[in-house]
A and B are shown apart, each in its own frame.
Chain A
Amino acid sequence: MNLAALRSAAQASSVPVEAELVPSITWLIRIRWLAGIGVIGATWSADVILRVALPTLPLYAIGLTLLLYNAAFYAIVRHLARQPARALGPYDLLTKTQIGFDWVAMTALIHFSGGLESPALFYFFFHIIIAAILLSMRATFFYAGMAALLVSAIGVLEYAGYLPHYAVLMSATAGLYRQPLFVLGITFFFISTVFVAAYLASTLSARLRKREAEVVALSKNLLRAYTRLETVYETTAAVNSSLELEQVLDQLVQRTAHALNVRACSIRLLDDTGARLTVAAVYGLSDAYIKKGDLILAHNPLARQVIAGQTVIVNDVTTETRLQYPRQALEEGIRSMLSAPLLGKKGPLGLIRAYSTEANHFTQDDAEFLNAIARQGSIAIENALAYKALGQLDEMKSRFVRTVTHELRSPVSVVRSLLHTLLGGYVGELSAPQREMLQRVQHRADFLQTLIDDLLELAAGKMDVHAQPALEPVSLDEAVRRVVERFQIPAQEKHITLEWHCECPEGPVKIAATNEGIDRILNNLVSNAVKYTPSGGRVAVRMFVREQRATIEICDTGIGIPEDALPHLFEEFYRAPNAKAQVKEGTGLGLAITRDLVTRFGGHISVQSKVGHGTTFTVIFPILIELPV
């Protein structure tokens, strides 16, 4: 059974009598057209074909009348259907009126087709059954009584001569209507049959209605269960879509409140001591209520119960003894609460609580539902907590590196200062060997400084995003031009041509970055290209803009990078073996820093290379789309 069918079954009115009334009336009117035509047709065929002596005029009149008042009813129903308010009152009256009219028509028909001898007598049973289907048992019996009365009246009146008799049957049975036994017999059998029929039809109808009501109720329950399940799945998906604890908890409380159709929901988590529960997320509660305080397990029997693993319903806050803050709850407008435990793999994490402004709002069903949500929520919370712990660990590491590196700075700086003074000749004349050795020392000290600077930069890049400088619009083409100019002289000294091409649109190409960061990236890449390209080679820097992306290519005809070195290229302190051979010194941190920066600016960096031929680094950045202010 698909969901749509379930929904429509559940939406069916719980009182089928009313629900069936409107289509039934339409159906009745449709049948009556046939009845009217039938009467006229039967009369005509009896008269013309069977050559039976009939009071044709009255019979045709009855048929016509049937059709006429049916047309009237049809018009009334159409008019009522166009009304916006579908009150059932007029429809009910209409049904009873129709049946009443039919009764009169039936009686007239029977009278004019032979009274108690009329074969049309049996048609009364149609009406009994229709009444049993459409109306209540009492109404059915009423109409049965009316039928019995009318028929008996015809029988008696015709017998007594007060009413003319229209004989329809052949001569053999003519005059039966004058036979007391016939009259009594037919009357008795008619009355008894009519009442039995009424009883049977009503009973059947009642049972049918009861079954229908059961189906509707079951469909409603099924639909509710299905909706709840859907909500649990949706909540699980939403809650697991983030590893940020705050987001996870906010999603959880909001969705739970909506799913349970209550005003508020809160999550409290156990603190490190495990003795109190502090608010971690809340939806629908005032600040005053939240600030009332933590739940202290020692003073809060209800919370203790929940943490132990029980789901607890508080039906009425005014009569509940286990609450820690009953007064504040009342002031907030809360009358009932439902609390479920949040249980992690290693023990309880806290509890989730739903608040309603009505007393006795929560059912066992709701409790099971909240439990299901709590179970999913616990998993998500544990994941988020683990992620946070991981993040903190990472942060601690970076902070340590930063501190250490900072501490290293000062002494190195002093060493270099002293060396400068020494080599400047201010501590006396230096011999050539002394000078040479001191220069070696200075060289290493300078390298140490560079290493420390790079390490610091790397550690800074790995720190918490919030500590980073904010991104701003940076002109990429200008930045590239600047760096290329900077390296023109060093390139010329090495007899390398350094070219710059730009397939740039009109105006500056802006990306979201920092000026220092972009300078660092470009400086590193161009410097590497120049460094590792032998004399006579070429370095080309190309930039083009396509589809909201700016691409920069730095191509060189240098020593290239061996294939097995490529996957490690961006690792910290890694230097390819042929690079080490070519240029003795390098920190190995340049590309690691570069990649960190590129990623931070939302870009992507890749490399292609062939040993002995050259290397191409490709950096792509998304263009900053500045919205008009």
Chain B
Amino acid sequence: MANEKILIIDDDDDLVLAMRLPLEAAGYKVFRAMNGVEGLQKVKEVNPDLIILDVMMDSTTEGFQVSLTLRSPDPKSEYQAYSKIPILMLTAIHQTTPLRFGPDQEYLPVDAFIEKPIEPAKLLDQVRKYLKK
């Protein structure tokens, strides 16, 4: 369990704070990136054990784009080494994004969705679950 690294990619400072506090209290090390580009950089830098990604930052598909890049099937992709890191995506209900992924899709760029508003207990549950895998 020793200090697993969690990378949060989200542009909303308040939301990040709401998540950072319970996560650090549970003993995780929290890193943060402001947007998709910075996020991908930080992944290479930090090599996190889990990524929390907001679905919508500047554009409606920014979150999915990051996950698609990280999990690109292209064997020559520079993110190959990071394609197995679990990704949790933050969404608000009713948020309509053009990409919908269902359980029958063979290629799921994220592992689970976390609905806003953040409930620390639920967040910690999910994090624990996916770090174990």
- Interface set of A (CB-CB < 8 Å, partner B): 409-410, 413-421, 424, 426-427, 449, 453, 456
Contact = CB atoms under 8 A, between A and B. Distances in A.
Nearest to B119: A420
Contacts of A416: 116-117
Nearest to A426: B21
Nearest to B121: A424
B22 A417 contact: no
B118 A420 contact: yes
19 contacts: A413-B15, A413-B92, A413-B116, A414-B12, A414-B14, A416-B116, A416-B117, A417-B14, A417-B118, A418-B17, A420-B117, A421-B17, A421-B21, A424-B22, A426-B21, A426-B22, A426-B120, A427-B21, A449-B117
B133 interface: no
A414 B92 contact: no
B22 A421 contact: yes
A424 B120 contact: yes
B67 to A, nearest CB: 21
Contacts of B121: 424
B12 A426 contact: no
B81 interface: no
Interface in B74-133: 92-94, 116-121
A453 B25 CA distance: 32
B18 interface: yes
Contacts of B118: 417, 420-421
Contacts of A424: 22, 120-121
Given A413-B116, A414-B12, A426-B120, A421 B92 contact: no
Contacts of A415: 117
Contacts of A427: 21
Contacts of A421: 17-19, 21-22, 118, 120
B2 to A, nearest CB: 21
A525 B119 CA distance: 29
Interface residues of B, number: 18
Contacts of B22: 421, 424, 426
Label chain A's interface by main secondary structure: helix
B14 A420 contact: no
A170 B93 CA distance: 130
Nearest to B21: A426
B117 A417 contact: yes
Contacts of A414: 12, 14-15, 18, 116-117
Contact of A418 (B18, B93, B94): B18
Given A414-B14, A414-B15, A426-B21, A420 B120 contact: yes
Contact of A409 (B14, B18, B92): B92
A417 B23 CA distance: 14
B64 to A, nearest CB: 18
A555 to B, nearest CB: 32
A16 to B, nearest CB: 79
A305 B15 CA distance: 68
B31 to A, nearest CB: 18
Nearest to A412: B117
Nearest to A421: B18
A414 B11 CA distance: 12
Contacts of B15: 413-414, 417
A341 B18 CA distance: 68
Contacts of A413: 15, 92, 116-117
Contacts of A418: 14, 17-18
Nearest to A406: B94
Contact of A456 (B17, B21, B94): B94
Contacts of B19: 417, 421
Contacts of B25: 426
A534 B118 CA distance: 34
Interface string B1-29: 00000000000101101110110010000
A568 to B, nearest CB: 28
**CB-CB nearest 4 A-B residue pairs:** A416-B117, A426-B21, A417-B18, A417-B118
Contacts of A419: 117
A410 B55 CA distance: 13
Residue from the set B17, B93, B117 with the largest chain A CB neighbour count within 10 Å: B117
Contacts of B119: 420
Contacts of B94: 453, 456
Contacts of A409: 92
Given A413-B117, A417-B118, 19 more contacts: A410-B12, A414-B14, A414-B18, A414-B116, A417-B14, A417-B18, A417-B19, A418-B14, A420-B118, A421-B17, A421-B18, A421-B21, A421-B22, A421-B118, A424-B22, A424-B121, A426-B22, A426-B25, A453-B94
Contacts of B92: 409-410, 413
A449 B92 CA distance: 11
A413 B114 CA distance: 13
B23 to A, nearest CB: 9
A410 B12 CA distance: 10
A145 B44 CA distance: 128
